[in-house]
A and B are shown apart, each in its own frame.
Chain A
Amino acid sequence: MIRKRRRPLTALEIVRYIVLIPILAFFLAPIVWLFVTPFSSRPSLSISLGKPTLSNFVRVFQNKIALLAFRNSLIIAVGTVVLVTVAALLAAYVLSRKKFKGRDILLYVLILFSSVVTGVAAMVPLFMMNLKLGLIDKHLGVILTMSGGLLPTSVFILKDFIDSISITYEEAALVDGSTPLQVMFRIFLPLSSRGVIVIAMLTFVNAWSNFLVPFILLRSTTLYPISIAIYTFFTEIGVPDIGMISAYSLMYTLPVIVVYLIIEKRFGFSFYGGLKA
Chain B
Amino acid sequence: MAWIEFDHVTKRFEEVVAVNDVSFSVEKGEFFTLLGPSGCGKSTTLRLIAGLEIPTEGRVFIAGKDVTFIPPGQRNVAMVFQNYALYPHMTVYQNIAYPLTVRKVDRKEIDQRVKYVAENLQIHSLLQRYPMEISGGQQQRVALARAIIQTPNAFLLDEPLSNLDAKLRIEARSFLKHLHMELGTTVVYVTHDQAEAMALSSRIAVMDSGNIRQIGTPKEIYDSPADTFVAGFIGNPPMNLLEVEIIGYRVKLEDQLLEVPELVEKLLKPVDGKVTMGIRPEHVKIADRGELKGTVYVVEPLGAEIIITVKLGNQFLKVLTFEEMNISPGDVIGLNLNREKILLFDERGIRIEKRAE
Binding site for B on A (CB under 8 A): 166, 168-169, 171-179, 182, 186-187, 190-191, 272
Q: A177-B73, A187-B87 are in contact. Are A172 and B150 (CB under 8 A)?
A: no
Binding site for A on B (CB under 8 A): 50-52, 71-79, 81, 83, 85, 87-89, 98-99, 102-103, 146, 150, 156
Closest residue of A by beta carbon distance from B149: A176
A-side contacts of B98, CB under 8 Å = 173, 176, 186
State whether A272 touches B73 (Cβ < 8 A): no
A-side contacts of B103, CB under 8 Å = 177
Shortest distance between the CB of A138 and any CB in chain B (Å): 40
A-side contacts of B75, CB under 8 Å = 175
A-side contacts of B87, CB under 8 Å = 169, 172-173, 187, 191
Q: A166-B83, A168-B83 are in contact. Are A175 and B102 (CB under 8 A)?
A: no
Point out the residue from A166, A168, A175 that lies within 8 Å of B78, measured CB to CB: A175
Shortest distance between the CB of B180 and any CB in chain A (Å): 19
State whether A176 touches B83 (Cβ < 8 A): no
State whether B146 touches A175 (Cβ < 8 A): no
State whether B72 touches A175 (Cβ < 8 A): yes
State whether A191 touches B99 (Cβ < 8 A): no
B-side contacts of A174, CB under 8 Å = 51-52, 71-73
State whether A172 touches B79 (Cβ < 8 A): yes
State whether A178 touches B85 (Cβ < 8 A): no
Cα A177 to Cα B98 in complex, Å, equals 9
Cα A115 to Cα B98 in complex, Å, equals 43
The winner among B73, B76, B83, B103 for most chain A CB atoms within 10 A is B73
Cα A169 to Cα B83 in complex, Å, equals 10
Shortest distance between the CB of A96 and any CB in chain B (Å): 17
Point out the residue from A177, A179, A187 that lies within 8 Å of B99, measured CB to CB: A177
Closest residue of A by beta carbon distance from B156: A175
B-side contacts of A191, CB under 8 Å = 87-89
Closest residue of B by beta carbon distance from A191: B89
A-side contacts of B89, CB under 8 Å = 190-191, 272
Chain A to chain B contacts (Cβ below 8 Å), 5 pairs: A174-B51, A175-B51, A176-B150, A177-B150, A178-B102
Cα A175 to Cα B51 in complex, Å, equals 8
State whether A171 touches B81 (Cβ < 8 A): yes
B-side contacts of A179, CB under 8 Å = 73, 102
Main secondary structure, interface of A, reads helix
19 extra interface residue pairs, beta carbon distance < 8 Å, beyond A175-B156, A187-B87 = A168-B81, A168-B85, A169-B85, A169-B87, A171-B50, A174-B71, A175-B52, A175-B72, A175-B75, A176-B73, A177-B74, A177-B99, A177-B150, A182-B102, A186-B98, A191-B87, A191-B89, A272-B88, A272-B89
Cα A169 to Cα B98 in complex, Å, equals 12
B-side contacts of A182, CB under 8 Å = 102
Closest 10 pairs between A and B when the two form their complex, measured CB to CB: A172-B85, A176-B99, A168-B85, A177-B73, A190-B89, A178-B102, A175-B79, A174-B72, A175-B72, A168-B81
B-side contacts of A168, CB under 8 Å = 81, 83, 85
Cα A173 to Cα B150 in complex, Å, equals 13
Closest residue of A by beta carbon distance from B79: A175
Shortest distance between the CB of A137 and any CB in chain B (Å): 45
Closest residue of B by beta carbon distance from A179: B73
Shortest distance between the CB of B13 and any CB in chain A (Å): 9
A-side contacts of B150, CB under 8 Å = 176-177
Shortest distance between the CB of B71 and any CB in chain A (Å): 7
Closest residue of B by beta carbon distance from A190: B89
Q: A169-B87, A182-B102, A187-B87 are in contact. Are A176 and B146 (CB under 8 A)?
A: yes
Cα A173 to Cα B146 in complex, Å, equals 11
A-side contacts of B77, CB under 8 Å = 175
Cα A178 to Cα B75 in complex, Å, equals 12
Cα A179 to Cα B104 in complex, Å, equals 12
Shortest distance between the CB of A109 and any CB in chain B (Å): 23
State whether A186 touches B102 (Cβ < 8 A): yes
Shortest distance between the CB of A274 and any CB in chain B (Å): 14
Cα A172 to Cα B157 in complex, Å, equals 12
Closest residue of B by beta carbon distance from A99: B14
Q: A176-B102, A177-B103, A178-B73 are in contact. Are A171 and B85 (CB under 8 A)?
A: yes
State whether A172 touches B81 (Cβ < 8 A): yes
Closest residue of A by beta carbon distance from B81: A168
State whether B83 touches A175 (Cβ < 8 A): no
State whether A171 touches B52 (Cβ < 8 A): yes
Cα A149 to Cα B51 in complex, Å, equals 40
Closest residue of B by beta carbon distance from A165: B88
Closest residue of B by beta carbon distance from A178: B102
Shortest distance between the CB of B141 and any CB in chain A (Å): 16
Shortest distance between the CB of B218 and any CB in chain A (Å): 28
Shortest distance between the CB of B155 and any CB in chain A (Å): 11
Shortest distance between the CB of B336 and any CB in chain A (Å): 52
A-side contacts of B102, CB under 8 Å = 173, 176-179, 182, 186
Closest residue of B by beta carbon distance from A172: B85
A-side contacts of B88, CB under 8 Å = 169, 191, 272
Cα A272 to Cα B89 in complex, Å, equals 9
Shortest distance between the CB of B195 and any CB in chain A (Å): 26
Closest residue of A by beta carbon distance from B88: A272
Closest residue of A by beta carbon distance from B47: A171
